Amino acid sequence: MNTPKIRVGVIGAGFVGSALVQLLSDESRQIALVDAATASIEVVGVAVRDAQKPRPGIDAGLLTTDPLELANREDLDILVELAGGIEPARTYIEAALNRGVSVVTANKALMAECGTALAQLAHENGADLFYEAAVGGGIPILRALRTSLAGERIERVMGIVNGTTNFILSKMTSEGSDYCDVLAEAQALGYAEADPTADVEAFDAAAKVQILSSLAFGTELRGEEIVREGITGVRSVDVDFAHRAGYVIKLLGVAERVGEDGISRRAHPAMIPEDHPLASVHGAMNAVFVEGTKSGPLMWLGQGAGGEPTATAVLGDVLHAARNRVGGRHDVPFSVDDRLRSVPAGEISSVFYISIDVMDEPGVLASVASVFGTHGVSIQSMEQSGFGDEARLSFVTHSAITKNVQATIEDLAKLESVDSIGACLRVIDGGVA
Amino acid sequence: MNTPKIRVGVIGAGFVGSALVQLLSDESRQIALVDAATASIEVVGVAVRDAQKPRPGIDAGLLTTDPLELANREDLDILVELAGGIEPARTYIEAALNRGVSVVTANKALMAECGTALAQLAHENGADLFYEAAVGGGIPILRALRTSLAGERIERVMGIVNGTTNFILSKMTSEGSDYCDVLAEAQALGYAEADPTADVEAFDAAAKVQILSSLAFGTELRGEEIVREGITGVRSVDVDFAHRAGYVIKLLGVAERVGEDGISRRAHPAMIPEDHPLASVHGAMNAVFVEGTKSGPLMWLGQGAGGEPTATAVLGDVLHAARNRVGGRHDVPFSVDDRLRSVPAGEISSVFYISIDVMDEPGVLASVASVFGTHGVSIQSMEQSGFGDEARLSFVTHSAITKNVQATIEDLAKLESVDSIGACLRVIDGGVA
């Protein structure tokens, strides 16, 4: 029997690209690939910036410095895009899709920016567009949402989808350290970039939320801004308070239904109960927690970054696309639900933790409490701590509408007895038995 | 456009079957099914024992008391088998597969008994055979092993795959209660059967290990006996010891590579470190932990039982089979790796916890220790507790070969100073950062 060859081109040979090419060249894995797909996979080209640089494990004859030419190769079946960024990655991908070549990418920013259009383009040309590695590194959550949970009505998806911030917050929790010290340590260890903005200001998590939401609910991927708050304001006193109250602070990506046709998509730090499965996701691990109407709670956990775990996710996509090629078919793209509307952040209800630095003098609590009352924000518990310059009031509210909490914060900041607003974090309730 | 209809027959209308039929009849879910599969799904028959019994949510006109006739219907596309047990379930499934009808089942016992033959029969007839609900209830782990991880070399799969025993062990841990008391409570709550043998003696977990192993490694499903130890011997003193040492006791299903071509498949209680992700899986929850060479650790968590979660898994399979039908194709079955050999239990190395009840008299420890030494089992730590009739020695060994530990236990039992062997549990090492 003549087994068909599936020809793969790879753009980018960094950690992920190199690991992928080596996996695809691994004899022992080829057996699994061939048996399962009744075909063999061959890497026909690897586009890199510098073709002179030695790349162990990659045949030098495969290297090219012209990614667009690779994307346009006549004999290509699958293009793997690992360059990242919007352009020129988008040009390469569109070139391939336009010719019916399936595309596998790890490019979360690009998918969040124009995933709807690219998925449509793939479908029109009978090609696949897979991007499992764009969310949660090696965790196969996207395929599960596409297939196993396709018949389920999902109510909420919450993920720890950024390893850098989870490393930082985990360290702050376990060691009581300050944000700046831990950030410096994370940078020294290579867990955080020299410019950590994309991670610590939750741009990365926000893009991943958009991708998760599109598969869980059918929201569009067309570069919409979603609610985004970073972790730079989280202080060790907040971590302490959370611990005493039975919570941990995590940067969460959240997408959830609000009422019949509303969707709220957000990325922000939040307090979650210590017995919640997400609370025990430490260090650079990632996890995605899905609540379905019928399935109940489900969680996926794994390594959110790293060349090899990410390459595994890319490999799973390549294999799926290869099997589809052999069968002369492609997967249907995610379906957009036109009825859904994005609910403004201010309209969402949540429990909040609010910590304010105050003057240590009589009557402060009364004036602060009256501001909460004016805006209809009901207080569940209050803790007074520190003395003198360090005096602090920490509140946990009952469930309140976000815009009322925001107005409360604004008015509190105007009080003479208030030095500064320390933190305002959402509190996620509900553990799992 | 004329959308094709996919005709589904369901055998069994218990909790899972009823929930499934209602999900398939749910208008809001039909939209997702139709959009995604470009087809609609219709339930054409539900086989039950008693067609007179009122079944809310199921059209009485669909009911039949002849499952074999349903399986043999000319117009059937997919048969869902939820009757359980080996026969007559096997006859129904074979009848359908022989005619090219795809089969979805939750029948773990049947799959463990003759899954290889049934998968082959399905493949020969161009039909699908899916059984996601057979392991981990609503957790979509089997499809992930088939697809996303198909290109990965998996080293070990460890699962908490039996909710009843996890409920019992969790209660024993959180309340310090004895096994018999908690079993009675579980039976009163409906979490354990009147005859709990299948659960507490790990028959259920063993069948699930075989299914996980077939997809993770390519082992056969043909009714082989695998290593199986129940939880009836776990005492509250063992739970206490585990806690003090930083461990929890869980009933684990384990399938792992041993050397180049060996596989060990086992179901037994084990001590796992408190910071291992599996340690925080409480109550009736299930979880499967997978260690891949490149992916690193991955974990899936969710509800392991219950009509609705299980029905969600069955629905995912029905949907996948329906999409395949519309596309005129079927998935390739798991591939058997002929080189693999089952490694006898005695050859496996592990750290062990051994607790023995002894006479409270001088010289006991010396005689006990000499037995360990004779069999080359090295002791990592020892704890002496209790007095008089309650005196007890608890050991944790270094990694030792199981048959040497078994020989040690046999010889220990012969010592005059030893009253009885209390427990002998494997200790799983290695948490996840």
DSSP secondary structure string for all residues of B279-323: GG--TTEEEEEEEETTTEEEEEEEE---HHHHHHHHHHHHHHHHH
Alpha helices by DSSP H, B64-146: 67-71, 89-98, 108-124, 141-146
Quick one: pLDDT at residue B191? 86
Quick one: pLDDT at residue A236? 93
Quick one: pLDDT at residue B34? 58
Tokens 């040690």 belong to B408
φ, ψ for residue B18, nearest 5 deg: -65, -45
Instruction: Tell me the average pLDDT across A114-142.
Output: 96
- Looking at beta carbons, which residues of chain A come within 8 Å of B302? 295-299
Is B309 within 8 Å of A296 when comparing Cβ atoms? Answer: yes
- Looking at beta carbons, which residues of chain B come within 8 Å of A277? 280, 301
- Looking at beta carbons, which residues of chain B come within 8 Å of A37? 332
Give the length of chain A: 433
Quick one: pLDDT at residue A328? 83
Residue A129 β-bridge partners? A103
**In this prediction, what percent of chain A has a pLDDT beyond 90?**
79
**B375: number of CA atoms within 13 Å, CB side?**
22
- Looking at beta carbons, which residues of chain A come within 8 Å of B309? 294-296
Measured over the CA atoms of residue B414, residue B415, residue B418 and residue B422, the dihedral's sign is negative
The interface predicted TM-score (ipTM) is 0.87
Of the candidate CATH numbers 3.30.420.40, 3.30.70.260, 3.40.50.300, 3.40.190.10, the domain formed by A347-427 belongs to: 3.30.70.260
The string of pLDDT tens digits covering residues A176-194 is: 999 999 999 999 988 899 9
CATH architecture of A5-137+307-326: 3-Layer(aba) Sandwich (3.40)
pLDDT band at A329 (very low <50, low <70, confident <90, very high): confident
Q: Residues B293, B294, B298, CA angle at the centre, nearest 5°?
A: 85
Report, in angstroms and rounded to the nearest whole number, the Rg of chain A calculated over CA atoms.
24
Is B299 within 8 Å of A297 when comparing Cβ atoms? Answer: no
CA distances from B59 to A108, A369, B18, B50, B70 (A): 46, 58, 11, 14, 16
Quick one: pLDDT at residue B288? 98
Residue type, A62: L
**Topology of domain A151-302, CATH:** Dihydrodipicolinate Reductase; domain 2 (3.30.360)
pLDDT band at B206 (very low <50, low <70, confident <90, very high): very high
Tokens 């930082």 belong to A168
Does residue A361 register a pLDDT over 90? Answer: no
Q: Which of A371, A355, A304 is nearest to A161 (CA)?
A: A304
pLDDT band at B272 (very low <50, low <70, confident <90, very high): very high
Does residue A39 register a pLDDT over 80? Answer: no
A217 neighbors A260 (Cβ within 8 angstroms): no
Catalytic residue among A108, A208, A250, A403: A208
Quick one: pLDDT at residue B324? 87
Nearest to B151 among A33, A292, A327 (CB): A33
Quick one: pLDDT at residue B380? 93
φ, ψ for residue B86, nearest 5 deg: -75, -60
A344 CA to chain B: closest CA distance, Å? 25
Q: Residues B52, B58, B59, CA angle at the centre, nearest 5°?
A: 80
Q: Which of A426, A373, A370 is nearest to A399 (CA)?
A: A426
Nearest to A140 among B144, B275, B283 (CB): B144
| Residues of chain B numbered 260-289 and touching chain A (CB < 8 Å) | 275, 277, 280, 282-285
B164 neighbors B199 (Cβ within 8 angstroms): yes
Separation of first and last alpha carbons in chain A: 53
A143 lies within 8 A of chain B by CB: yes
The string of pLDDT tens digits covering residues B287-335 is: 999 999 999 999 999 998 888 999 999 999 999 999 888 878 888 877 8
Quick one: pLDDT at residue B431? 41
Report, in angstroms and rounded to the nearest whole number, the Rg of chain B calculated over CA atoms.
24
| Rounded-to-integer distance, Cα B429 and Cα B431, Å | 7
Q: Which two tokens stand for residue B336?
A: 């058997």
| Rounded-to-integer distance, Cα B309 and Cα A149, Å | 11
Contacts of A282 (CB under 8 A, 6+ apart): A166, A170, B275, B432, B433
Instruction: Tell me the average pLDDT across A135-144.
Output: 94
A132 lies within 8 A of chain B by CB: yes
- Looking at beta carbons, which residues of chain A come within 8 Å of B138? 292, 294-296, 298
Is B433 within 8 Å of A285 when comparing Cβ atoms? Answer: yes
Separation of first and last alpha carbons in chain B: 53
φ, ψ for residue A287, nearest 5 deg: -155, 150
Nearest to B303 among A132, A277, A296 (CB): A296
B329 neighbors B100 (Cβ within 8 angstroms): no
Instruction: Tell me the average pLDDT across B203-209.
Output: 97
φ, ψ for residue B329, nearest 5 deg: -140, 175
Residue type, B271: M
Give the length of chain B: 433
| Rounded-to-integer distance, Cα A157 and Cα A135, Å | 13
**B110: number of CA atoms within 13 Å, CB side?**
26
**In this prediction, what percent of chain A has a pLDDT beyond 70?**
96
What does the mean pLDDT of chain A come to? 92
Could you give the 3-state DSSP secondary structure of residue B111?
helix
Q: Is pLDDT larger for residue A45 or for residue B29?
A: A45
Is B295 within 8 Å of A301 when comparing Cβ atoms? Answer: no
CATH 3.30.360.10 region(s) of chain A? 151-302
Residue of A294, A320, A324, A329 for testing the chain B interface, max B β-carbons within 10 Å: A294
Quick one: pLDDT at residue A432? 41
| Rounded-to-integer distance, Cα A102 and Cα A119, Å | 11
CATH 3.30.70.260 region(s) of chain B? 345-427
Q: Is pLDDT larger for residue B2 or for residue B141?
A: B141
| Rounded-to-integer distance, Cα A202 and Cα A204, Å | 5
| Rounded-to-integer distance, Cα B37 and Cα B324, Å | 9
CA distances from B1 to B24, B39, B328 (A): 22, 10, 18
Cα pseudo-dihedral A146, A147, A148, A151, rounded to 10: 80
B207 neighbors B266 (Cβ within 8 angstroms): no
Quick one: pLDDT at residue A26? 81
**Topology of domain B345-427, CATH:** Alpha-Beta Plaits (3.30.70)
Residue B249 β-bridge partners? B271
CATH 3.30.70.260 region(s) of chain A? 347-427
Q: Is B5 a catalytic residue?
A: no
Tokens 């667009």 belong to A68
A315 CA to chain B: closest CA distance, Å? 6
- Looking at beta carbons, which residues of chain B come within 8 Å of A297? 301-303
Nearest to A19 among B294, B299, B433 (CB): B294
Helix and strand numbers (H, E) in chain A are: 14, 18
φ, ψ for residue B416, nearest 5 deg: -65, -35
φ, ψ for residue A21, nearest 5 deg: -60, -40
A160 lies within 8 A of chain B by CB: no
Is B151 within 8 Å of A319 when comparing Cβ atoms? Answer: yes
Residue A418 β-bridge partners? A358
pLDDT band at B37 (very low <50, low <70, confident <90, very high): low
A399 lies within 8 A of chain B by CB: no
pLDDT band at A25 (very low <50, low <70, confident <90, very high): confident
A140 CA to chain B: closest CA distance, Å? 6
Measured over the CA atoms of residue A5, residue A6, residue A10 and residue A13, the dihedral's sign is negative
B288 CA to chain A: closest CA distance, Å? 10
| Rounded-to-integer distance, Cα B290 and Cα A19, Å | 20
The string of pLDDT tens digits covering residues A370-427 is: 999 999 999 999 999 888 888 999 999 999 999 999 999 999 999 999 999 999 999 9
Does residue A36 register a pLDDT over 60? Answer: no
pLDDT band at B57 (very low <50, low <70, confident <90, very high): confident
Q: Which two tokens stand for residue A421?
A: 């607003």
Kindly report which listed range (A52-61, B87-96, B198-207, B250-259) carries the lowest average pLDDT score.
Answer: A52-61
Does residue B432 register a pLDDT over 60? Answer: no
Is B33 within 8 Å of A332 when comparing Cβ atoms? Answer: no
DSSP labels, A209-264? HHHHHHHHH----S----EE--STT--HHHHHHHHHTTEEEEEEEEEEEETTTEEE
Q: Which two tokens stand for residue B146?
A: 């088939």
Tokens 């009933």 belong to B251
Contacts of A47 (CB under 8 A, 6+ apart): A9, A10, A11, A12, A13, A63, A64, A65, A66, A67, A70
Does residue B361 register a pLDDT over 90? Answer: no
Is B36 within 8 Å of A150 when comparing Cβ atoms? Answer: yes
| Rounded-to-integer distance, Cα A70 and Cα B97, Å | 44
| Rounded-to-integer distance, Cα B271 and Cα B242, Å | 7
CATH 3.30.360.10 holds for B150-301:
yes
Q: Which two tokens stand for residue A214?
A: 């599109």
Quick one: pLDDT at residue B16? 93
Does residue A37 register a pLDDT over 60? Answer: no
Q: Which two tokens stand for residue B58?
A: 């199921």
Is B335 within 8 Å of A32 when comparing Cβ atoms? Answer: yes
Is A152 within 8 Å of B315 when comparing Cβ atoms? Answer: yes
Q: Which of B52, B40, B39 is nearest to B13 (CA)?
A: B52
Quick one: pLDDT at residue B164? 95
B32 lies within 8 A of chain A by CB: yes
Determine which helix (DSSP H) or strand (DSSP E) holds A350, and give its type and residue range. Answer: strand A349-358
Q: In chain B, whose CA is at the least distance from the CA of A130?
A: B148
pLDDT band at A433 (very low <50, low <70, confident <90, very high): very low
Interchain CB contacts (distance < 8 Å): A and B? 191
Quick one: pLDDT at residue A31? 59
Nearest to A433 among B148, B283, B308 (CB): B283
| Rounded-to-integer distance, Cα A82 and Cα B72, Å | 50
pLDDT band at B344 (very low <50, low <70, confident <90, very high): very high
Q: Which of B42, B86, B44 is nearest to B61 (CA)?
A: B44
Residue type, A128: D
Nearest to B302 among A33, A36, A297 (CB): A297
Kindly report which listed range (B9-18, B115-124, B357-366) carries the lowest average pLDDT score.
Answer: B357-366
Is A332 within 8 Å of B306 when comparing Cβ atoms? Answer: no
Does residue B266 register a pLDDT over 50? Answer: yes
Nearest to B150 among A138, A300, A319 (CB): A319
CATH 3.30.360.10 region(s) of chain B? 150-301
CA distances from A216 to A103, A150, A290, A337, B109 (A): 21, 8, 9, 11, 33
pTM metric for this prediction: 0.91
Quick one: pLDDT at residue A334? 77
CATH 3.40.50.720 region(s) of chain B? 5-137+307-326
